[in-house]
Amino acid sequence: MSKIMDDYLEGIRHYLGDRTDTEEILAEIRSHLLEKTQNDGGEVTDAALQDAIEEYGSPRQVAARYLEESHIIHPTYRQFLFRYTWLLFAIHYGLKILSFVFGDSFPIQPFGLDIHVTRWPDLFIQLPFTWIADFGLVALVFYLITQNPTDVRLAWPRFFRRSLKPVKMRGAEPWKLWAWITLLIVLLAAYFRNETLFFQTIDFKKPLTPLLQPDASQTLSLLVLALVGFEIITLLLRIRFRSLWVDFANTTVYMISFIFVLAIPREQLFLDSRLLFLADLAAWVIGFTLIILAYDLIRILRTVLTAKPFRTVEK
Amino acid sequence: MTDQPIGIEPEMNRGFVKILVLLVLETPMYGYQMARTFETIGYAVEGNTLYPLLRRLEKNHWISSRWEIENDRPKKYYRITETGREVRRHQLDIWRIQTSIIDQLDKEKTHE
C-alpha cells in the first residue's frame, strides 16, 4: 500500500523541483488520498488507493497546478524571445560571413570571443550551432529578467514593429520549396560523386572533365550549395514570418556572395587558359546582377521604412 | 445549485471556487472536508485544483493554516484571516454586479 503512495508522491516531488514547501504539499496530498480512500471504500487497500490516485491526476499534472504562477520566462517576454534570437543571430552570423569574406577576425570584448571563419564548410556547419547558442544566450537573459521583480520594458526598434501584412510577398509557394529541395539533393549527389559542380563537358559515358582549378572548383561548388540551402531556409522563413526582412537578408547574402566571387582572381579560375574570356563574361553578368540586387535591396528598404505602423481596414 | 455535481476545471470557475473557499472558511476546515462540503452543495472541486488554490490564498495571507493530528493522521486546517474577509467582501460585490449585468442582458434577450 505505502509503496503505491510513496511512488506517486515521489513522482510529484520530482516535478515540483526544489521548493521549500514540497514536504508540506506532499503531506497534504497523502492525507487527502488516505481519507478519501477510507471514506469511499471503508478500507485502505492497494486497489482503492490506486483508484484514488488515478482520480487525483498524474504526478506531472498535479505538480503543474502548483507551478502555474512560476515562470522560467514570463509570458510578456516570450514574444521577444525569438525576435531577439533572430536579431542576435543576424548580427552574429553576419559577422561570421564578413570574417570569411574579408579573411578578418572580430574579437567580441569583454567576453573573450573571437569570430574567425576561414573555411566554407565551417560557415555551413556553424549555421545551426550559431542559432542555438544565440537562442540559449537570449533565453538566459530573459530568465534573469523574469526572476527580477522589477518590470523591464524590452526595446524593439519601431521599424521592426511595422505591419507588413498588406505587402505582397514573393515566392512563398510550397511547390517552390520542394523544387529547391530537389535541386539541393541533386547538387549534393553530384558534388559528393565528383567533388565539384563545374565541368567542361557532360557526357556520362566518359569521365567528366573539370572546368575549374581545384581550389576555385571547391569554393564555388560549396558556394552554390550554400546558396541553394540558404534559398530553402529563406522560403521556410517566408512561409512562417511573411516579413520583408527575410527578403532583405536574402538579397544581402546574395550580394555578399557575388562580391566574393568577383574578388577571386580570374587567373585562378579555369583549368584551360583559353576559357579566360568566360571569366570576363561572368564578371559582367555578376556585375549586372549586383546592380539589380542593389536596386531590389533599396526597394525592400524603402517599402519597409515607409510601411504604416498600423493597417487600416479599407471598405 | 444544480442537482448533479459539476466538474470544475475551466478558468472561469477558479474565481468562483476562490469565493466559495473564503465563504466556508469562517469555520476552520481541512482540504478534504472542504471538498466534501462543496460536494454536498452541488459542486465537485477536485483535490488537485483545491490544494494549489489554498496554497495561493495562504501565500496572499487571505487564509492561515495549522497542522493537527487526528486519528494518527496529520491534517492541515485552514481559516480565513481579516485580510481574507476584506477580499471576500470586495469579490462578492464584484460577483453581484456581474450577476446583475448577466441577468439584465438575459432578460433583454428573452423579451426580444
pLDDT higher than threshold 90 for residue A78: no
Domain limits at A50?
A: 2-67
Q: Classify residue A163: in a domain, yes or no.
A: no
Q: Which amino acid is at A304?
A: V
Based on the domain organization, do A128 and A189 belong to the same domain? no
Helices and strands (H and E) in chain A: how many: 11, 2
At B4-31, the pLDDT tens digits run 444 445 566 778 889 999 999 999 999 9
Based on the domain organization, do A302 and A182 belong to the same domain? yes
What local confidence, expressed as pLDDT, does residue A8 receive?
94
Residue A36: all three cell numbers together: 478519501
Q: Classify residue A162: in a domain, yes or no.
A: no
What is the rounded CA–CA span in Å between residue A123 and residue A45? 64
- The mean predicted confidence, pLDDT, of chain A is 81
Distance, CA of A247 to chain centre: 16
Based on the domain organization, do A89 and A143 belong to the same domain? yes
B84 or A78, which is more confident? B84
Mutate to test the interface with A, among B48, B57, B70, B76 (most CBs of A within 10 A): B48
Question: Is A70 in CB contact (< 8 Å) with chain B?
Answer: no
β-strand pairing of A106-108 with B29-30: unpaired
Based on the domain organization, do A204 and A244 belong to the same domain? yes
Based on the domain organization, do A152 and A215 belong to the same domain? no
Residue of B nearest to A27 (CA): B74
> Which element (helix H / strand E) includes A216?
helix A214-241
A32 CA to chain B: closest CA distance, Å? 6
Counted domains in chain A:
3
What local confidence, expressed as pLDDT, does residue A242 receive?
66
What local confidence, expressed as pLDDT, does residue A159 receive?
59
Q: Classify residue A104: in a domain, yes or no.
A: yes
Residues of B in contact with A21 (CB under 8 A): 55
- % of chain A surpassing 70 pLDDT: 87
At A262-291, the pLDDT tens digits run 888 878 888 887 777 888 888 899 999 999
β-strand pairing of A113-115 with A106-108: antiparallel
pLDDT higher than threshold 50 for residue B2: no
A238: confidence class by pLDDT, cuts 50, 70, 90:
confident
B61 or A207, which is more confident? B61
Given A97, A127, A156, the domain boundary residue is A156
What is the rounded CA–CA span in Å between residue A290 and residue A277? 20
> Which element (helix H / strand E) includes B32?
helix B31-40
A56 or A265, which is more confident? A56
The minimal CB distance from A56 to the residues B48, B55, B56 is found for B48
At A147-190, the pLDDT tens digits run 887 777 777 666 565 545 544 545 556 788 889 999 999 999 88
**For chain B, which residues make up each domain, given as ranges?**
6-111
CATH top class, domain B6-111 = mainly alpha
Residues of A in contact with B47 (CB under 8 A): 29, 32-33, 36, 56
Long-range contacts of B33-36 (CB under 8 A, 24+ apart): B34/B78, B35/A32, B36/A39
Cβ atoms of residues A138 and A240 within 8 Å: no
What local confidence, expressed as pLDDT, does residue A310 receive?
45
Q: Classify residue A277: in a domain, yes or no.
A: yes
A89 or A162, which is more confident? A89
What local confidence, expressed as pLDDT, does residue A190 receive?
86
pTM above 0.90, yes or no: no
Give the count of Cβ contacts less than 8 A between chain A and B.
45
Q: Classify residue A165: in a domain, yes or no.
A: no
Q: Do B75 and A31 touch (CB under 8 A)?
A: yes
Q: Which ipTM value was assigned to this complex? A: 0.80
What is the rounded CA–CA span in Å between residue B16 and residue B49? 12
Cβ atoms of residues A261 and A285 within 8 Å: no
Which residue's C-alpha cell is 473564503?
A: B22
At A246-257, the pLDDT tens digits run 888 889 889 988
Based on the domain organization, do A102 and A209 belong to the same domain? no
pLDDT higher than threshold 80 for residue A80: yes
What local confidence, expressed as pLDDT, does residue B108 receive?
84
Cβ atoms of residues B31 and A28 within 8 Å: yes
What local confidence, expressed as pLDDT, does residue A277 receive?
82
Other CB atoms closer than 10 Å to residue B44's CB: what's the count? 13
The minimal CB distance from B73 to the residues A34, A62, A68 is found for A34
Q: Report DSSP letters for B48-103, one per residue.
A: HHHHHHHHHHHHTTSEEEEEEEETTEEEEEEEE-HHHHHHHHHHHHHHHHHHHHHH
A304 or B75, which is more confident? B75
> Which element (helix H / strand E) includes B6?
strand B6-7
What local confidence, expressed as pLDDT, does residue A262 receive?
85
Q: Classify residue A167: in a domain, yes or no.
A: no
At B25-51, the pLDDT tens digits run 999 999 999 999 999 988 888 888 899
Residues of B in contact with A28 (CB under 8 A): 31, 51, 76
What local confidence, expressed as pLDDT, does residue B20 receive?
93
Cβ atoms of residues A117 and A99 within 8 Å: yes
What local confidence, expressed as pLDDT, does residue B3 receive?
47
Based on the domain organization, do A56 and A141 belong to the same domain? no
Residue of B nearest to A25 (CA): B51
| Average pLDDT of the residues in A211-220 | 84
What is the rounded CA–CA span in Å between residue A306 and residue A300? 10
Q: Report DSSP letters for A148-201, one per residue.
A: SSS-------HHHHS--TTSPPSS--HHHHHHHHHHHHHHHHHHHHHS-S-BS-
Mutate to test the interface with A, among B40, B51, B53 (most CBs of A within 10 A): B51
Given A67, A84, A112, the domain boundary residue is A67
What local confidence, expressed as pLDDT, does residue B12 receive?
65
A25 CA to chain B: closest CA distance, Å? 8
Mutate to test the interface with B, among A15, A24, A31 (most CBs of B within 10 A): A31
